[in-house]
């Protein structure tokens, strides 16, 4: 599997998600997931597609997201991740 790239929107947030086989590392705007989305709720929203499909340890996800608020950004990432997994 190569790198899968998709662009999507939620409210006014725009996210670019790159999914590749890996060890479960998630980076958002060149920061670790917990640093960019500090609350457990936002982290859960981002991780939900991978967790529900039992693929949290199988893929690396690199995200570039801008616009909107943090909740809209997390939901934009979640929507795109569902399409990838």
For the chain, give the number of residues.
Answer: 85
The pLDDT value given to residue 1: 72
pLDDT digits (tens, 9 = 90+) for 16-69: 999 999 999 999 999 999 999 999 999 999 999 888 889 889 999 999 999 999
The whole-number average pLDDT for the span 66-77 is: 94
Match 């640093």 to its residue by tokens: 35
Write out the two tokens for 55.
Answer: 């693929």
pTM greater than 0.75: yes
User: What is the C-alpha to C-alpha distance for residues 39 and 71, in angstroms, rounded to an integer?
Assistant: 10
Give the Cα-Cα-Cα angle 62, 69, 44 (nearest 5 degrees).
Answer: 55
Distance (Å) of CA 6 to CA 15, 39, 40, 50, 85:
8, 25, 25, 16, 12
pLDDT value for 49? 87
pLDDT value of position 82:
60
């Amino acid at each position: 599997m190569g790198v899968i790239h998709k662009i999507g929107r939620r409210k006014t947030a725009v996210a670019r998600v790159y999914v590749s086989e890996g060890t479960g590392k998630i980076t958002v705007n060149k920061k670790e997931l917990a640093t960019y989305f500090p609350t457990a709720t936002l982290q859960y929203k981002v991780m939900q597609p991978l967790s529900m499909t039992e693929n949290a340890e199988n893929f690396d996800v690199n995200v570039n997201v801008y616009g909107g608020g943090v909740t809209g950004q997390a939901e934009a990432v979640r929507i795109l991740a569902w399409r990838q997994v």
